[in-house]
Amino acid sequence: MKRHGLVTAALVTFASQASATDLGTPASDRLSAWSWTGCYLGAHAGGLWGDSDKWIPRTPGGAFEGVSLGGHSVDGIIGGVQGGCDYQAASGVVIGFAGEYGWTNADGTHPSARETGVFYHSEVEALTSVTGRLGYAFNRAFLYVEGGAAWEQVDYRASTTMIGTAYRASDTRSGWTIGGGSEYGFTDRLSAFIEYGYYDFGTERIRLSPQYSFLPTAFVDIEDTANVVRAGINLRFGR
């Protein structure tokens, strides 16, 4: 809750400062031709935190089948690129679509809730999303909500104190995302934004590949979610 409160405060502050800037400009400037219609490319950076939860074994005949082995939190930084297009109606309503790709080092580990000397680890490598967005423009200030499809590239690992890494898996998981933010146009070509996004990848059965020949292939259900706060800049064109 504290993190979500900080996110809300940051978005409100950003929007308030943008609006205050507009109110302080001459009337002739505020009435000048400004529109969010056009396309953009840019870059962003921020933070990611989330959960890799449940870790329920599903190996037929295996130990603790159907019983949760616990879960852990993940956190790290994220940075990447984005692009999209917007259309602003005469009423000030803005609709658009965007694509984002972010590299991240968010990871986490937990000891097994049922086994001794066994640890489970996950590391998020990248997040991708394709979203639609809807908002309202206050001249150069733009408030919006967005949502759509998302993908997560993630690595999983199981290790023991006796033999080290026993199992590995890499997966690209699909899910959905929803969020919102604010953007401000500093010039006709340059804008900056801050936004929050929630990502949900549901529960998926992961195939764990053994790292030793004497181990069988294993299966586990894992539930992944993530939260991202990022700020970035966009170079706008086609206006």
Tally of residues, the chain: 239
Q: Which of 106, 59, 55, 98 is nearest to 78 (CA)?
A: 106
Predicted confidence (pLDDT) at residue 152 exceeds the cutoff of 80: yes
What's this model's pTM, rounded to 2 decimal places? 0.86
Q: Tens digits of per-residue pLDDT, 212-222?
A: 999 999 999 99
Q: Tens digits of per-residue pLDDT, 37-70?
A: 999 999 999 999 999 999 999 999 999 999 999 9
Confidence class for position 18, pLDDT limits 50, 70, 90: very low
